[in-house]
Structure 1
Amino acid sequence: MEALFKHQQCLAVFSRVKFTRVLLTVLIAFTKKETSAVAEAQKLMVQAADLLSAIHNSLHHGIQAQNDTTKGDHPIMMGFEPLVNQRLLPPTFPRYAKIIKREEMVNYFARLIDRIKTVCEVVNLTNLHCILDFFCEFSEQSPCVLSRSLLQTTFLVDNKKVFGTHLMQDMVKDALRSFVSPPVLSPKCCLYNNHQAKDCIDSFVTHCVRPFCSLIQIHGHNRARQRDKLGHILEEFATLQDEAEKVDAALHTMLLKQEPQRQHLACLGTWVLYHNLRIMIQYLLSGFELELYSMHEYYYIYWYLSEFLYAWLMSTLSRADGSQMAEERIMEEQQKGRSSKKTKKKKKVRPLSREITMSQAYQNMCAGMFKTMVAFDMDGKVRKPKFELDSEQVRYEHRFAPFNSVMTPPPVHYLQFKEMSDLNKYSPPPQSPELYVAASKHFQQAKMILENIPNPDHEVPPEFDFSAHKYFPVVKLV
């Protein structure tokens, strides 16, 4: 019996040592430049997850921590002093750090392993827009600083190449092709081999690298720091948009001379504007997440989103979709001229249709919230502060101050907002019951839009939930 007990203790120690070795090997793998290192890390993560169950089953072995109220929250362990490195810490305000219990430690490492597995999935993405979405979604989960750092080092190895293999310039060009299909990047266009046009687009793409790398790096910060940095990066994107419009104009002039049926107006500008709008929307929405707005401020935040930013975003996406379709028609006509065979037309799925639909849903949600907040204000359900040292105008201008650096879309100033949102311009002005009905229609419209979005994964089986009734389940189609 004693021999079995010693064997279990040895296994417990072995599992912990091996887990530490595997975890350190994973971290070392992420420092390598080759993409094969990520595959190696994935295999090691499976091993680490298997070892966690052995660690969990042996938590009762060894010396157990004693809780002493005189020592605060730190458990007393022989040979371990939690504050041993206090003098080595930087001279900042001391942060409260609590050593977690063993059971919580196992759960923490299980979540860390899942996050690192998620980080490894980014190498399967090839499009810059998909990578940006991945970073946004990963950041929304508020991951730990270690997993955020691993994602950053995986994306841009040594701040040079994406995943250690692709040039960022090539990623930008691919993103432009997939979003707006500019003629200058089409091999069938006369500008493709034009040296002057090539220099123009190459110079523009090179100038895109720094802002886009910075935008992705911003998502490596915590949520509060992200919002602060998003406000500052708008200045860089405003400069980039100005350059995009100039390059578009130059390329359009060149194109008209050789191919009058084509145009190059607002191709690059549309793409930069799209990212500008996304940053602005993300900046405002993160304010809700961080609980920065007071209730009496909600109505103008939702108004700005619904009437302005989402309206601009849908217009920009529709223009990009139209540009894609125009380029596709020209390509089809060129192919028809070369081959006499009739080809069957297949109904193509528009790549931007899903995002346009989602933007419509979000716009309706924001419009519904705006009308709801105005109705609440009419009914006296929103408590407004007694402004002494500031006013609503001061607060409004403070909330939207980062947008002043952007020329397109032009910022909506407070007096302009009050004029545009004034209900007295209607005859008769709507009352709160009418506003509640209008808001409910917006919410219903958003619901219908979201329900009609096709599910890309039809193989997911339905879920049967018997918690509400033991005989008749709630069936969920995900």
Structure 2
Amino acid sequence: MDRHALHQPSSSSSSIPATANTVWTDASPLLEVACKDLRDGELIHVDNFNLYAAMSALEIMDPKMDSGIVNRYCSVDEAIEDGVAPVPISTDKTTDVQCMIDIMDHLLTCEATWHKGHSLAQTVFSCAYLLRPERTSSHALLHSYCKVIRATCKAVITVVSDARTHEEEDLFTMAYGLPLSGDGDEKCLSLLNAVEENISRQLRACKAPSSKRKPLEDIEPLQTNFDLEEGYCKALLCRLRFRKHFFHVLTCMRRPQGRGLELARKHIASCISELGVILKSAEFLMSNAHGTCEDATEDRTTASGHQAIGFDASLNSRISAPTPPRSIKILSWKKAIEYFEKLLHDLDIICSYPLDPSLEVLLRFVAQFQKAQPDLVARAHLQLLLVQDGKLYGKCPMFSLIIRAARLPEVFLHHDIQKNEYVVQLGQLVINMLKILCTNAAWQRRKLGKILQDWRVIYVQIELAFRKDFGEGSSISNGDNASARILKHILIWVDEQTYWISHRFLILGFELELYSPSEYCMVYWYLYVVLIRLAEKTHLKMTVSDGSAKQKGKKRKDSPKELARDAKIPPAISFLQCQICLAEGLTVLLAALRNELMVLQSPSPFNSEHEVKYVLMYMVVNIIIHLNNKEMFQNIIEFQMIKRGNNGYSLHK
């Protein structure tokens, strides 16, 4: 507590400043007496105290709370006047090129740090050259590079904003009035190509034999040291080409209906190749670095190890955010290279996807893709590819996706039932599910737990509509009513999809390490139950679909080949059967370890595990199972007996 606040005899004396002759009184005894009179939860405060003021208060002189304490400059113009971002960077051409490469490298590390969720103002736009675009017009190389950086940032922000995945990192898309769009930025590639061509000519000139060098003497060299000309030309070219190809990747992947994916893959390959050249240039740049290098070699933000010119993280502190700025650490140069390599690899996986209209294949692809833990930018591109204008890939309506997923004939793709209110709502649920599956694991699990109720509600609504329109005794085998058949198939598929979501919800708990060892037995038991129900619904969907297809054909005596084919376990069911056996085995194993050897137990001084975990998780499972225990296990037994006598196989031992 401030000592000035301890002694306040009157409201008038509180405004009198303390002097050297001020007599201070120890208020500790007074505070101790007041504390004895306080009950639990009470505190000493003045009359104007409130919670809002307490939460909004800033801790003065703390750099994390008081953004002005570490400010070197009050404005960008003041920093420029102080020589933070000179143009030209240096009068010596060799030093100018070295500094330009350092700026390129540091911007790359700032961009990777921004992609990781930090503020754009404190990372990429900590560069004074980007904040005043008009100042760089006399420096062609710096001017063109700054333009493509701004255009790239704008493209990334647009992708993440359109995908609405920025809720994970609220600071990502906030530009705070930063100059993302400069005059002529739409021509950034043409300017970059002109600079690249000029440096390419300089490289060819320095590599030419002495006999052919005379005709090339009119080409001005990049810098004054001829022995270093080739190395600096190559270092600049690989960085310029990476920027060019990366911008092409972003633009090609935004083309509607996936039309630019093949071209994007070519640019991705070029980006990865240029990153390799950039890494190789580090040895040359470090050996010829100017000035003093950074102390920590591993944490350096440039290939040369030298600190880049023109950067100050406090330049945008006044406009950085509506909240106190974070204390961030820029990624190292090597980690930035590794980040972009992973990002390009993830984007290449997205571009290589064949745009299969099957929802089952799509869900398997997304689940596998998420195992690599892709970052925000890659996941945003995936979501925009999957959902465009309310359609899958921008060309496949949700109703046709549902029809295929429910294993209905394509003759129903244009049926009028797609205008049904509940079918339209189901299509929106599918869109929401696809968007959720493109978020990070933590956000995904949270949202999946919430939409389980929505899927159960839509199931009940469609079921009630089916009974109202077609009665209780409607049979799938009655092919006279196409609407009844479609709704019946959709009901089975919705039930199956609900169990798939619940299975995904439980599995994500393992990936996020949310379960303690003492909870594994319970979680595997839930997985065992959900997998059995999922296998049951999947098998029912296949059986109904195959039965409907057979009814269309002529009745004839089954041949031995057809009988053998019917007896074969479908791959999807076989895979689920393996998962069921694993879940059951792990449940029994963990239960035995717990009961016999008294391991994997963690007694709590508070509520028991049954109260905290079992009751809560049973509520979630109850949403998807909607059966009591007796009915559930009866269904499990019946499921084990399905086709045992007819097809010669059992789904579970």
* TM-score where L is the length of structure 2: 0.54
Which amino acid in 2 is paired with 1:366?
Answer: A
**Does residue 293 of the first structure (1) align with residue 515 of the second (2)?**
yes
User: 1:5, CA displacement in angstroms?
Assistant: 2.2
Can you list the C-alpha shifts for 1:186-208, whole angstroms capped at 9, x where unaligned? 64xxxx69x9x833775443222
Greater shift, 95-104 or 311-320, is seen at 95-104
Which AA in structure 2 matches 1:271? W
Residue pair 1:127, 1:171 contacting (<8 A) in 2 also: yes
**In the alignment, what sits opposite 1:333?**
554
- 1:215 corresponding residue in structure 2: 433
Secondary structure of residue in 1 paired with 2:553: helix
Per the TM alignment, residue 295 of structure 1 is displaced from its structure 2 partner at its CA by: 1.9
1:358 and 2:575 correspond: yes
Question: Matched residue pairs, number?
Answer: 393
Cα deviation, 1:102-142, whole Å, max 9, x if unaligned, reads: 33333332222211110112343121221122112111211
Letter of the structure 1 residue corresponding to residue 353 of structure 2: V
DSSP-derived class of the 1:381 partner: coil
**Backbone CA RMSD of aligned residues:** 3.8
Structure 1 position 73, deviation (Å): 8.2
Contact 2:242-2:271 within 8 A present in 1 as well: yes
- Cα distance, 1:211 vs. partner? 0.8
SS at match of 1:59: helix
Q: Which residue of the partner structure matches residue 90 of structure 1?
A: 321
SS for the counterpart of 1:18 is helix
**1:119/1:304 Cα in 2 relative to 1: closer, same or farther (>3 Å)?**
same
Check if 1:54 corresponds to 2:277: yes
- SS of 1:221's partner is coil
Amino acid at match of 1:107: E
Structure 1 distance, partners of 2:278, 2:331, is 16
The answer on 1:128 being equivalent to 2:350 is no
Structure-1 residue corresponding to 2:262: 39
Determine if contact 1:172/1:205 at 8 Å carries over to the other structure: no
Q: Match for residue 17 of structure 1?
A: 240
Alpha-carbon distance in 2 for matches of 1:92, 1:370: 48
Partners in 2 of 1:28 and 1:186 — Cα distance? 35
Secondary structure class of the residue paired with 1:58: helix
Contact 1:317 1:352 in 2 (8 A): no
Deviation at 1:249, TM superposition (A): 3.8
Q: 1:70-111: per-residue Cα shift (whole Å, max 9, x none)?
A: xx9877613153624555443568666443333333333222
SS in 2 for 1:124: coil
Measured in 2, the distance between the counterparts of 1:252 and 1:293 equals: 46
Determine the structure 2 residue equivalent to 1:139. 370
> What is the match of residue 271 of structure 1?
493
Q: Which of 219, 231, 234 is the matching residue for 2:452?
A: 234
Structure 2 residue 622 is matched with structure 1 residue 392? no
Q: 1:201/1:351 Cα in 2 relative to 1: closer, same or farther (>3 Å)?
A: farther
Do the aligned partners of residues 259 and 231 (structure 1) sit closer, same or farther apart at CA in structure 2, a change above 3 Å counting? Answer: closer
Residues 142/259 of structure 1: CA separation in 2 closer, same or farther (3 Å cut)? closer
Q: Whole-Å Cα distance in 1 between the matches of residues 566 and 312 of structure 2? A: 58
Answer whether contact 1:59 1:102 (CA < 8 A) is retained. Answer: no
Aligned-partner Cα distance in 2 for 1:82–1:46: 34
Over residues 8-46 of structure 1, what are the superposed CA-to-partner deviations in whole Å (9 max), with x where a residue is unaligned?
211211110111111012112222225322222122112
Superposed displacement of residue 238, structure 1: 1.0
In structure 2, the residue matched to 1:410 is: 626
CA separation in 1, counterparts of 2:477 and 2:566?
Answer: 28
Please identify, of 141-150 and 349-358, the stretch whose mean Cα deviation from structure 2 is larger: 349-358
1:367-394 Cα deviation digits (max 9, x unpaired): 1111111111121112322342455223
8 Å CA contact 2:350–2:382 kept in 1: the answer is yes
Secondary structure of the corresponding residue to residue 6 of structure 1: helix
CA distance in 1 between counterparts of 2:475 and 2:358 reads: 33
Q: In structure 1, what residue type is equivalent to 2:626?
A: P
- The one-letter code of the counterpart of 2:625 is P
Tell me which structure has the larger Cα radius of gyration: 2
Shift of 1:234: 0.8
Residue 307 of structure 2 is aligned with which of 77, 98, 108? Answer: 77
| Counterpart mapping for 1:429-448 below 5 A | none
Q: Which runs of 5+ in 2 are unaligned?
A: 1-205, 207-224, 634-650
CA offset at residue 412 of structure 1?
6.5
Q: How far apart are the structure 2 equivalents of 1:217 and 1:261?
A: 35
Equivalent in the alignment of 1:160: 390
The one-letter code sitting in structure 1 at the alignment partner of 2:406 is L
Separation in 1 of the partners of 2:563 and 2:235? 61
3-state secondary structure, aligned to 1:333? coil
Partner of 1:369: 586
User: Which residue identity lines up with residue 231 of structure 2 in the other structure?
Assistant: Q
Return 83-92 or 102-111, whichever deviates more. 83-92
Q: Distance in 2 between matches of 1:409 and 1:286?
A: 19
Q: Does the CA-based 8 Å contact 2:386-2:434 persist in structure 1?
A: no
Worse overlay, 255-264 or 30-39: 255-264
Give the whole-Å Cα distance in 2 for the aligned partners of 1:93 and 1:353: 58
Change (3 A) 1:329 1:90: same
CA distance in 2, matches of 1:8, 1:396: 65
